[in-house]
């Protein structure tokens, strides 16, 4: 069973026979179907079906010479329409299955961004032949969560907001220079980190940590594409899984200026979401790359 099935509204699907009926429905009534012609004459195929707006399940496998589909694995998905980043990206095949992860460095997040690639067939058809050093593509990031809560926002005044924005821009410039080997930038970032640690340690004695840290993006667990995030809710909507009737909450979250589309089952969300409040939760990060456009 895929642990993130409940995020897209299938929390009660715990029996293999139920899943098999669901897979048969997806194969018979797909929303989208993509194929890549293999050298042995077979087709590597992705079959997707939406069970709510831009939310569903994808089956991956091979179609043989007789047109029969053999599933290798499946995953639930959420499609995002927001371009989250556009950085130099490496695509890496997983060892255990016909799945791929994308990896890029985004200075806004402060860590290497690793995500599960949704559109593998597009990569095989268009991106694989173009992949080379310096290649960048627009990336739409989305995430599934099975554990989240709503936090109240921090109070801001206009002067403080402008000051924080200027500090963030300056820090990004330092990080970019540090990557090039600029020793002054490296030393400046080290001193800033020491000062920040001292400030947080001092304030944490008297304040709640979530009143100090507004947003964060931190690797979580042993899986490379799992993160714990805190971000401000920019937009939200609710939808219903057409098969199970379960309510699904969609949150557009601004996390360190990176926009993520987060999907979570209403059952797994603690608190009442609203624009301006913050979301805190563990996520499985997915990405859809537009391989048809690039910037060298």
Highest mean pLDDT: which range of 88-97, 125-134, 252-261: 252-261
Q: How far is CA 14 from the centre of its chain?
A: 25
User: Which residue has better confidence, 13 or 263?
Assistant: 263
> What pLDDT is attached to residue 175?
73
Is 237 a residue whose pLDDT tops 90?
yes
Confidence of residue 115 (pLDDT cuts 50, 70, 90): very high
Look at strands 85-93 and 258-265 and give their pairing: unpaired
> What pLDDT is attached to residue 147?
93
Q: Which residues contact 236 (CB under 8 A, 6 or more apart)?
A: 249, 250, 251, 252, 273, 274, 275
Provide the residue ranges of all domains of the chain, joining segments of one domain with +.
5-77, 155-212
The region of weakest confidence among 23-37, 52-66, 107-121, 136-150 is 107-121
User: Which residue has better confidence, 277 or 66?
Assistant: 277
Is 134 a residue whose pLDDT tops 80?
no
> What pLDDT is attached to residue 58?
95
Cα four-point dihedral sign 261, 264, 266, 269: negative
Highest mean pLDDT: which range of 90-94, 221-225, 243-247: 243-247
What pTM was estimated for this model as a whole?
0.86
The region of weakest confidence among 108-112, 231-235, 289-293 is 108-112
Q: Which two tokens stand for residue 124?
A: 């095989």
The region of weakest confidence among 9-18, 76-85, 168-177, 230-239 is 168-177
Burial label for 207, CB within 10 Å (0-12, 13-18, 19+), is exposed
- Per the DSSP assignment, residues forming a β-bridge with 147 are 282
Could you tell me the CA-to-CA distances from 110 to 15, 33, 106, 171 in Å, in that order? 41, 36, 7, 10
Q: What is the pLDDT of residues 64-109, one digit of tens each?
A: 888 889 999 999 999 998 888 888 888 888 877 778 999 887 766 6
> What pLDDT is attached to residue 41?
80
Is 129 a residue whose pLDDT tops 60?
no
Average model confidence (pLDDT) across the chain: 85
Q: Which two tokens stand for residue 294?
A: 């690039």
Q: In three state form, how does the secondary structure of the chain look?
A: CCCCHHHHCCCCCCCHHHHHHHHHHHHHCCCEEEEEECCCCCEEEEEEEEEECCEEEEEEEEECCCCCEEEEEEEEEECCCCCCEEEEEEEEECCCCCCEEEEEECCCCCCEEEEEECCHHHHHHHHCCCCCCCCEEEEEEEEEEEEEEEECCCCCCHHHHHHHHHHHHHHHHHHHHHHCCCHHHHHHHHHHHHHHHHHHHHHHCCCCHHHCCCCEEEECCCCCCEEEEEEEEEEEEEEECCCCCCEEEEEEEEECCEEEEEEEEHHHEECCCCCCCEEEEEEEEEEEECCCCCEC
Q: What is the pLDDT of residues 186-206, one digit of tens each?
A: 888 788 888 888 888 888 888
Is 251 a residue whose pLDDT tops 80?
yes
Q: What is the pLDDT of residues 154-167, one digit of tens each?
A: 877 666 666 566 76
């Amino acid at each position: 069973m895929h642990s993130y099935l409940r995020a897209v509204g299938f929390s009660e699907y715990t029996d293999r026979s139920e899943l098999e009926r669901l897979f048969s429905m997806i194969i018979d009534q797909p929303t989208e179907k993509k194929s890549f012609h293999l050298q042995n004459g077979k087709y590597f195929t992705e079959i997707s079906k939406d069970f709510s707006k831009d939310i569903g399940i994808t089956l991956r496998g091979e179609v043989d010479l007789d047109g029969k589909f053999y599933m290798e694995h499946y995953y639930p998905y959420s499609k995002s329409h927001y371009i989250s980043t556009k950085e130099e990206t490496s695509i890496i095949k997983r060892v255990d299955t016909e799945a791929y992860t994308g990896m890029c460095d985004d200075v806004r997040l402060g860590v290497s961004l690793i995500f599960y690639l949704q559109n593998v067939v597009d990569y095989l058809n268009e991106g694989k032949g173009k992949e080379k050093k310096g290649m960048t593509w627009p990336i739409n990031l989305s995430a599934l969560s099975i554990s989240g809560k709503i936090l109240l926002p921090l109070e801001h005044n206009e002067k403080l907001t402008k000051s924080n924005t200027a500090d963030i821009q300056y820090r990004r410039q330092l990080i970019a220079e540090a990557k090039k080997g600029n020793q002054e930038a490296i030393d400046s970032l080290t001193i800033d980190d020491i000062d920040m640690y001292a400030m947080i340690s001092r304030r944490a004695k008297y304040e709640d940590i979530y009143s100090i840290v507004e947003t964060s993006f931190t690797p979580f667990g042993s899986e490379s594409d799992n993160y714990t995030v805190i971000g401000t809710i920019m937009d939200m909507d609710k939808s219903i899984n057409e098969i199970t009737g379960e309510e699904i909450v969609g949150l557009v979250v601004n996390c360190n200026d990176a926009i993520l589309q987060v999907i979570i089952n209403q059952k797994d969300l603690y608190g009442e979401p609203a624009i301006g409040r913050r979301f805190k939760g563990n996520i499985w990060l997915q990405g859809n790359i537009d391989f048809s456009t690039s910037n060298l």
